[in-house]
Amino acid sequence: MTNLLGRMLELRWVVLPPIVGVAMMAMIIGALVAAPREIIEGEVQRLMYIHVPSAIATYMAFFITFVASIMVLWKRDMRWDPIARGSAQVGVLFCGLVLLTGAIWGKPIWGVFWTWDARLTTTLILFLIYTAYLLARAVSDSMDEQAARYAAVIGVIGFLDVPLIQMSVRWWRTLHPQPIIFTSKPALPDEMLIVLLLGFAGILSLVLWLISLSAETERMHQRLAGLRAGVDRREGA
Amino acid sequence: MRLAWVVMEKDLRLAWRHRTGWLSALAFAAISVLIYSFAFDLAARDVRPLLPGVLWTTFLFAGVFAAGTSFQHEADEGTFDAVLMSPVAPTAVFLGKAASNLIALLVVECSVLLLATILFDTTLVTPELLAIVLIGTIGYVSLTTLLSIMGSRVRSRAALLPVLSMPLLIPLLIGAVRATGAALGIEAGTAPWMMLLSVFALWSTLISALLFPIAVER
């Protein structure tokens, strides 16, 4: 069972890159060429095909960090630490992308780059929490198991803080466009919906691939530090 | 519970003997209230709309500042392992630490309230306001105490602790500022904000008491 799972995980290096390539190309062509021009918002609306999937991808990445952090604390297994760090890195990257595309869209549509709307504020706070997580992990030794556990504590608290953040900022007026595709009857025209779904496929597979890459990098980094420490010890002896 | 009491007593006694840490937190809080008065020119206008924000930013920064030192003694002397090896449950160690931090912070905060009462001629020492300060402080002291153990492991802890804890404490800050505003009669209805504060205090205490033993276990 574990063996089968391991072999399936190995396949990610073979399977993910072509999927990412094709889906991203399809999304770009779809968003720029195929999708119709929005009547009221104009060309800037095309940002939605990146913005919405990136937001979902951010939550997915932070959820992976949360689960991996729990495993670090619970199973005391350092193999989960690179996964937690890797997906936090990718999550912060896409969270920044969400904030950036939102600001570019907000200027022509709302008249301002930024507003203290509940959803925007929550996203910003998430960005700050996970930046702090990365900072805490970056200033400590990557081999240090105790530091990994402390960072995992932040990974857990940060995710569990989300409902409270949402509860506290929802009291403010909400400007953000309400979700229109997760309702039972999508209000989006078919062509746009197809491009958006392509966007989801592209961004989510890209995020999975990036998380795999950065977790693998972190893992190798950890191994290298371990080998170095071993060499130092041998030379010292 | 009795063991937590012992830890708390020990920490309070240490805090009393090494007064510099707590006195600097108190001085820091007093200075920041004065700085706010100059920065926002609080002498010349109605201060009440600004007061909740001034008070709570002061409390939070002073709290984070003070919590940063709560494991410093153990880290410097290398006695943290000894504390963990003693026949005391880690949860009790944590609760004792958090309680001693709480008491010391409440002293600092009450002094700030007195100072602000004198400076701004607004009655701030009311039962309602004291309840808000108590619940709010319980809410943040457990989280900052938990996070301050990270300080015993990493370099540059002085900058790290505020960066780590402030984003997590934003719900508490919003709730506390609004509840204080309502208590001062700026806006109506403390109830929802008091609920938010209480939920946050409960959440942070529970989660910190749960995670602390797992995090420090060797």
ipTM: 0.83
Q: What angle do CA B211, B214, B218 make, to 5 degrees?
A: 150
What integer pLDDT is reported at residue A62 of this predicted model? 94
Q: What mean pLDDT do residues A25-47 have?
A: 81
Domain housing B21:
2-216
| Contact criterion met (CB below 8 Å) for A218 and A82 | yes
- Number of domains chain A contains: 1
| Residues of A whose CB is below 8 A from B149 | 150
Residue A229 is assigned to a structural domain of this protein:
no
Is residue A42 helix, strand or coil?
strand
| Percent of chain A topping pLDDT 90 | 23
What integer pLDDT is reported at residue B206 of this predicted model? 92
| Angstroms from A103 CA to nearest CA on chain B | 21
Question: In the predicted model, is pLDDT for residue A2 greater than 70?
Answer: no
Of B152 and A80, more confident: A80
| Angstroms from B160 CA to nearest CA on chain A | 7
CB contact under 8 A, A139 and B155: yes
Give the Å distances, CA to CA, from A38 to A32, A46, A188, A192. Answer: 12, 8, 11, 9
Residue A132 is assigned to a structural domain of this protein:
yes
- Number of domains chain B contains: 1
Q: What mean pLDDT do residues B26-44 have?
A: 85
Please list the residues that pair with B59 across neighbouring strands. Answer: none
Q: What mean pLDDT do residues A20-26 have?
A: 88
A212-216, B55-59, B149-153: range with lowest mean pLDDT:
B149-153
Q: Which residue is associated with the tokens 């990270």? A: B150
Name residues whose C-beta falls within 8 Å of residue A53's C-beta, 6 or more positions apart in sequence. Answer: A196, A199, A200, A202, A203, A204
Residue A183 is assigned to a structural domain of this protein:
no
What integer pLDDT is reported at residue A91 of this predicted model? 94
| Percent of chain B topping pLDDT 70 | 92
Of B191 and A97, more confident: A97
CB contact under 8 A, B170 and A135: no
Q: How far is CA A236 from the centre of its chain?
A: 43
Domain housing A100:
48-176+192-222
Residue A32 is assigned to a structural domain of this protein:
no
Residue A161 is assigned to a structural domain of this protein:
yes
pLDDT confidence band for A48 (50 / 70 / 90): confident
Question: In the predicted model, is pLDDT for residue A183 greater than 60?
Answer: no
Average pLDDT, chain B: 83
CB contact under 8 A, B196 and A167: yes
pLDDT confidence band for A145 (50 / 70 / 90): confident
Q: What angle do CA B154, B156, B161 make, to 5 degrees?
A: 80
